[in-house]
Amino acid sequence: MDLWTQYSISDIKPRTVGTGSADVIYDVYSTIPGGTDPYQFDPTTNRCGGYKKEGDCFNKEHSIPLSWFNGVTANPGQSTDYNFIFPVDGYVNSHRSNYPYGEVGTATWPSLNGGKLGQSIYPGVSGMVFEPIDSFKGDLARAFLYFVTRYQDSMPSWGNYPDAIPAFDTTTYPSIKVSYLKMMIKWHYLDPVSEKEINRNNATYIYQGNRNPYIDHPEYVDLVWNSACAGLAALPVEIIYFSD
């Protein structure tokens, strides 16, 4: 079973906008939880293809871009790992490009659900970044932390790829630049594990036989990356990130 088919099974929610299929793609780049989505995708008929604007079609977003680890989708493994590959609007995905995630001040381009492309304003993370809305920051952070944990043996080489330099470290641990790790932990606590993530994690196990442990046990994030871990030194995460 391929990712397109899996998306139509487990990355769906009931339609609330427009006409067509009863269920639509649960897209982290277009959905507005608690609000009205600007558009919604039929899981089978709206697959990309070409696109000229938002809402034309959805495709497969490697939340860690392929260029960061020299990925080839024809090869099974990290390039086809469902845990971090999400169905998203193709047009928004093209604007996100290979940029890291980040926090933006003034957007050079906004998406219809509130995502933003622009220069980073997060301390220690520089350059152009894409900021998803708060409702999905935790999803994407936990997917990122899964990736560097699952593939830590490859991180020393991947950390040298130019597109990955803002985020990856050239070590097996911690594998992440401290500033980027700090932001991922902030996002993890900002947006706790949701029912959507739990359902997707359960589907991951059925689809490819593994899980994201940071969804099953959110407390593992602090246990893995904390100031007491040997070799990490003091991780500068403000206490506010751990408040209720």
pLDDT tens readout for residues 179-237: 999 999 999 999 999 999 999 999 999 999 999 999 999 999 988 887 655 545 545 44
Burial 67-82 (b: 16+ CB within 10 A, else e): ebbebeeeeeebebbb
**The model's pTM:** 0.93
Distances (CA, A) of 75 to 18, 92, 136: 37, 25, 28
pLDDT of residue 226: 78
Distance, CA of 196 to CA of 212 (rounded, Å): 13
Structural domain spans, the chain:
3-242
pLDDT tens readout for residues 97-145: 999 999 999 999 999 999 999 999 999 999 999 999 999 999 999 999 9
